[in-house]
Structure 1
Amino acid sequence: MLPTLVIGLREGLEAALIVGIIAAFLRKNGKSLTPMWIGVGVAVALSIAVGVVLRVIEKSLPQAAQEGMESVIGAVAVVFVTGMIVWMNTHSRGLKRELEAEASEAIHDGHAYALAGMAFLAVLKEGFETSVFLLATFSASTSMSLAATGAVIGVVVAVLIGIGIYAGSVKLNLSTFFRWTGGFLILVAAGLVLTALRTSHEAGWLNAGQQTVLDLGAVVRPGTVQSALLTGVLGIPADPRLIEVVGWLAYLVPVALFVYWPRARRAQGMQIARVQFGVAGAVALVALGLVAFAPRASTPHDQPLAISSAGAADEGNVALSRSTLKVGLGDDTTAVELPGAGTAVTHNGIAARQWKLPVTPRAALPATLSLDQLVAANGGRLPVGVNAAQNPGPFDAQWSTGGALEVWTSEGVLIDAQQTARTVVTITGGGLTTSRTVSIASGPLAQPSWAATDAAVQSASDAIAATQARQAEHRLWGIQLPIALGVAALIIAAFGLRSRRRALTDQNTPVGPTASPAIPATSQRSNSYAAQ
């Protein structure tokens, strides 16, 4: 409730300040307020519609897609609130003065509708930011009703303050107000960074850096004040993961330093460029350190899988050599070529390639069978419809083999294989008046059915999962983060070059009798005000 209350209060007050100042100028100059209120109403309606549409879209998506959308909304909300905090930290001291100057210019030029448009755009901007930020906060909140109540209270209080400022009955120190609420929102935004990283993992986008760093279960107990503060307000879970802690600190520390670094000790002129170059160098060093010391990805090793034959005591193994599957069962060894690249599937919880091939018949099967061979092939029993006295054999044999061989690989490594085979012989002659069909389930004449053992499949899958986890860690810490930090270092260095050029320009500005008359510095004004 508290985060949404502060969000509604801050965003609502920014819009109320702009609307109040514009309304005061319109009233003072005898202009109608109707166009302005129409613009404000339309902006409010559009902002509410944005929030409702985003919420409906989110709820209509599958669970993983919902988590992904929450991550995107959370990231956008963090960008919005950071921009708001930084902008207000820079402009809060002269906000009223700047708005009054713009409004005076518009009134002087006779553009009353321009002021109405200014009010519309101001409310639309703040309303859109509020919708996105509140939606992200709602997703991270444990109670939707309390979060909504806090937002409504914040907006109502902001409107009342705005009315008071417009009427001249309320005076507010903007610099102090935005400074204190800004600190709280920095913590809330850092919590949104953490939450967005967790929902990214739940969406399947971020699988590295998931090692639990702290166990706050003893502190964050459901129903306690600590739980309400840490989880409900600041978005800190009971089991923060490594990437979440890194993201939380990476956001909180620089933003807090930027906002709360003492103004008297802030760099000026060429010092700004030096600081920016120093920060860029430090970020680049961190990127190089990650490249050098990030965990290395290992290559998975192919190991034969133990197999067992259905209905027989034979055991053996199956192995993959390049694209050739080699099956050894008892004294029998066969090789099958796997064509193409297979089909992408998920098998045993990991991404894999699958082949499903027809069973290859045995190379040499007898064209005739004696009665003893037929009985042995049928498991020691006479087939139905065959009488030893009346059908002594030998029999003419026609063979057919059916079934399927299925193979699964991941990272080029065999993780599972099985064969379901069916051998059928059709016999004629040997005293038979009609043909007989016999299924051969076992023995040297049958194409065997077999499968990799559960233990072998699980061991191979665990090895692949561990390899993929190491690869994901390497991609994150050794590739993706260094690239992001390298880009950040270049951007900061570019700002440093711009600051250096500005400092050199200021140093070369002519002074003395040949210089242009200096413009007198604007006197310091109080931040406490009421709309005139």
Structure 2
Amino acid sequence: MLPTLVIGLREGLEAALIVGIIAAFLRKNGKSLTPMWIGVGIAVALSIAVGVVLRAIEQALPQAAQEGMESIIGAVAVVFVTGMIVWMNTHSRGLKHELEAEANEAINDGHAYALAGMAFLAVLKEGFETSVFLLATFTASSSMALAATGAVIGVAAAILIGTGIYAGSVKLNLSTFFRWTGGFLILVAAGLVLTALRTAHEAGWLNAGQQTVLDLSAVVRPGTVQSALLTGVLGIPADPRLIEVIGWFAYLIPVVLFVYWPRARRAHGMQIARLQFGVAGAIAIVALGLVAFFPRVGAPQLPAAAISGAVGASGGTAQLAGDSFYFTLDGNSTRVHLDPAKSATAEVNGIVARHWKLPVAPTQTTAPSSVTLAQLIELNGGRLPVGVNAQTDPGPFDAGWSTGGTLEVFSAEGALLDATQTARTVVTISGGGLSTPRTISVDDSRYAAPSWAVTSASSTKAQAAVNDALASQTERAFWAVQLPIALGLAALITAAFGLRSRRRALTDQKTPVGPTASPAIPATPQRSKSYAAQ
């Protein structure tokens, strides 16, 4: 409630001051206030419409997209409030006189409607900024009703103060007011930076720097004053993360220094250029340091995975080696070539993996081409196969062997995530007294292709290792690539500002001032007479 109240009060007072000054000039010069109030009403309606439309769009989006839009709105709000704080810090002392001078010039030129347009644009600007900032604050607030109440109270108070200033019954030191509220809004904006970084992570945009730095759960307990202050007002959660803490300080420290650095000690002329070049150099050094010292990330190293299955379950292992997959059962090793062109994309517990689905290779064991009745009963698990009569079909039988089934392999980052082989070996017998051939499934491990699967423990271990490797890659991509690029651009921009400041300082040094300035051209008698006549 408090952040929205201050936002409504501050932004509303800025608009109220401008409208009040313009209304005073219009009334003083006998002009109608109707066009101005029409412009103000349209601006207010447009500002409310912007907030409503943005909120409706956000609510219509899927969850991840909502989080992404909240991040964008939060970033825009931070830019708006920072620009407003910096501008007011520079112009608050002479705001009233500047507006009065502009209004007086417009009245003298006979442009009363220009003043109405000025009021419209001023209210529209403040209203649009307020809509975006309040929307971002509403999103971060735990209670939408309290946040809305604070905004209404703030705007109402701003209107009352603005009316009092217009009527002359309220005296307000604008410089002090904007200075103190600016400090509070800097803290609120820093909280919005933190919130925008968290929603960016929830949208899937920012996955680096998510290590929890502090555990404030003992302090930030729901329903307490501390929770209302830290979370509700300043936007600080109970589990601030590394990237959020860095973003909070990276925003707060420079803005506080810029706004509250003593005016007597502020840089001037060439000092500004040197300061900007120094800041650019420091940023560049940080960027190079991140690139040089952030650790490299390799593929996860895993031992062979244990496997189990219906056939050949004892002592089985499976592993990847380049484009080859090996599995060993009962001392028999089988190699399968994994052609990258024949792989598909699949997901294994959230991990994007390569997936091969291949036919089962036939067993390497030489199966007999004929079997006796006793061997047939042994192949069938100790039972006489259906359709075979020991008296009429004494054997021996001709045997034809065939194997079917699939081998599925899942891998990511060079690690074996999972593998399963489902096989079925059958023998077709004929002759030996049989009138028609018979097909029998074979479970004998001497002849049947094995069915097996990587154990859940091995699969879980491999998936955890891959997740760790992917997280490390994400961290490195951010800290050693993306962030240094952003810092490099920031350093270049800061250096460009330094060059501009240097050119300005050199130009000022070359401009003659005081006794070295060019002598003024003496006035002619005709011009003197003209001024005297005036």
TM-score by length of 1: 0.91
Distance 1:365 1:62 in 2: 59
Which structure 1 residue ranges, 5 or more long, are not aligned? 519-532
Match of 2:510 in 1: 508
Cα distance between partner residues in 1 of 2:292 and 2:168: 62
Q: Are the counterparts in 1 of residues 312 and 329 from structure 2 also a CA contact under 8 Å?
A: no
For residues 351 and 164 of structure 1, do their structure 2 counterparts lie closer, same or farther at Cα, with a shift above 3 Å needed? same
- Residues 1:197 and 1:4: Cα distance change in structure 2 (over 3 Å): same
Mapped contact 1:302–1:413 kept (Cα < 8 A): yes
What is the aligned partner in structure 1 of residue 524 from structure 2? Answer: none
Verify the 8 A CA contact 2:211 2:241 in the aligned structure 1: yes
1: CA distance, partners of 2:360 / 2:28: 92
Amino acid across the alignment from 2:208: A
Quote the residue 2:13 is aligned against: 13
Structure 1 residue aligned with 2:168: 168
Per-residue deviation, 1:435? 3.8
What is aligned with 1:475?
Answer: 477
Contact 1:106 1:112 in 2 (8 A): yes
Structure 2 counterpart of 1:348: 349
**Aligned-pair CA distance for 1:262:** 0.7
Does the aligned pair in 2 maintain the 1:86–1:259 contact within 8 Å? yes
More moved, 420-429 vs 168-177? 420-429
Matching of residue 376 in structure 1 with residue 375 in structure 2: no
How much has 1:28 moved relative to structure 2? Answer: 2.8
Which amino acid is 2:354 matched to?
R
Is contact 1:302-1:320 (8 Å) kept? Answer: no
> What does residue 432 of structure 1 align with?
434
State whether structure 2 residue 408 is matched by structure 1 residue 412: no
**Within 1, Cα distance between the matches of 2:337 and 2:22?**
79
Equivalent-residue separation in structure 2 for 1:488 and 1:114 (angstroms):
39
Q: Which moved more, 1:397-406 or 1:1-10?
A: 397-406
Q: What is the CA-CA distance between 1:305 and the residue it aligns to?
A: 1.5
Q: Over residues 220-273 of structure 1, what are the superposed CA-to-partner deviations in whole Å (9 max), with x where a residue is unaligned?
A: 122211111111111111221221111111111000000000111111111111
TM-aligned CA deviation for residue 101 of structure 1: 2.7
For the 8 Å contact 1:297–1:470, the answer to whether it is kept is yes
1:431 shift after superposition: 2.6
Deviation of the 1:442 alpha carbon: 4.5
Specify which of 491, 494, 503 is matched with residue 493 of structure 2: 491
Q: 2:332 aligned with 1:335, yes or no? A: no
Per-residue displacement from partner, 1:278-321 (whole Å, max 9, x unpaired)?
Answer: 22222222222222332332332354222112255333212222
C-alpha distance in 1 between matches for 2:422 and 2:132: 55
Alpha-carbon distance in structure 1 between the residues aligned to 2:450 and 2:519:
101
Counterpart of 2:247 in 1: which secondary structure? helix
Please tell me the root mean square deviation across aligned C-alpha atoms, in Å.
Answer: 2.3
Task: Name whichever of 177-186 and 467-476 sits farther off.
Answer: 467-476
Query: Does the C-alpha gap of structure 1 residues 402 and 16 become closer, same or farther in structure 2, counting only changes over 3 Å?
Result: farther
Partner in structure 2 of residue 460 of structure 1: 462
Question: Which deviates more from structure 2 when the two are superposed, residues 233-242 or residues 104-113?
Answer: 104-113
Equivalence map 1:84-99=2 (5 Å): 84-99=84-99
Contact in 2 for aligned 1:418/1:452 (Cα 8 Å): yes
Aligned partner of residue 172 in structure 1, secondary structure: coil
Q: Counterpart of 2:121?
A: 121
- The one-letter code sitting in structure 1 at the alignment partner of 2:156 is V
Where do 1:516-531 residues align within 5 Å?
Answer: none
Cα separation, partners in 2 of 1:438 and 1:215, compared to 1, 3 Å = same
The alpha-carbon distance between structure 1 residues 11 and 376, as it changes in their structure 2 partners (threshold 3 A), is farther
Post-superposition offset of 1:452: 0.8
Q: Residue 445 of structure 2: which of 424, 429, 443 is its match? A: 443
Other structure's SS at 2:130 match: helix
Q: Which amino acid aligns with 1:477?
A: W
Change (3 A) 1:381 1:123: farther
Instruction: Indicate how the Cα distance of structure 1 residues 371 and 77 shifts in structure 2: closer, same or farther if over 3 A, else same.
Output: farther
Deviation at 1:396, TM superposition (A): 4.3
The answer to which of 297-306 and 196-205 deviates more is 297-306
Contact in 2 for aligned 1:312/1:442 (Cα 8 Å) = no
Determine the C-alpha separation between the residues in 2 that align with 1:65 and 1:214.
Answer: 28
Distance 1:442 1:202 in 2: 53
Asked if the contact 2:299/2:414 (under 8 Å) is kept, the reply is no
Which deviates further from its counterpart, 46-55 or 138-147?
46-55
- Partner of residue 278, structure 2: 278
Bigger relative CO (Cα 8 Å, ≥ 6 apart):
1
Deviation at 1:6, TM superposition (A): 0.7
Identify if the C-alpha distance between structure 1 residues 395 and 9 changes in structure 2 by more than 3 Å, giving closer, same or farther.
farther
Measured at CA, do residues 77 and 367 of structure 1 come closer, stay the same or move farther in structure 2, by a change above 3 Å? Answer: farther
Deviation at 1:149, TM superposition (A): 0.9
Q: After superposing the two structures, state which structure 1 stretch, 100-109 or 264-273, moved more.
A: 100-109
Partner of 1:360: 361
- CA shift in 2, pair 1:515/1:389, >3 Å: same
Q: Which moved more, 1:58-67 or 1:217-226?
A: 58-67
- When structure 1 is superposed on structure 2, of 352-361 and 225-234 the one drifting more is 352-361
Larger Rg: 2
Q: Distance in 1 between matches of 2:125 and 2:368?
A: 85
Mean alpha-carbon deviation: is it higher for 205-214 or for 361-370?
361-370
8 Å CA contact 2:43, 2:121 repeated in 1: yes
Instruction: Find the aligned partners of 2:316 and 2:204 in 1 and give their Cα distance.
Output: 37
Instruction: Give me the identity figure in percent.
Output: 76
- Give, as a single letter, the amino acid of the residue that structure 2 aligns with 1:137: T
Q: Determine the structure 1 residue equivalent to 2:215.
A: 215
Question: Which amino acid in structure 1 is aligned with residue 517 of structure 2?
Answer: A
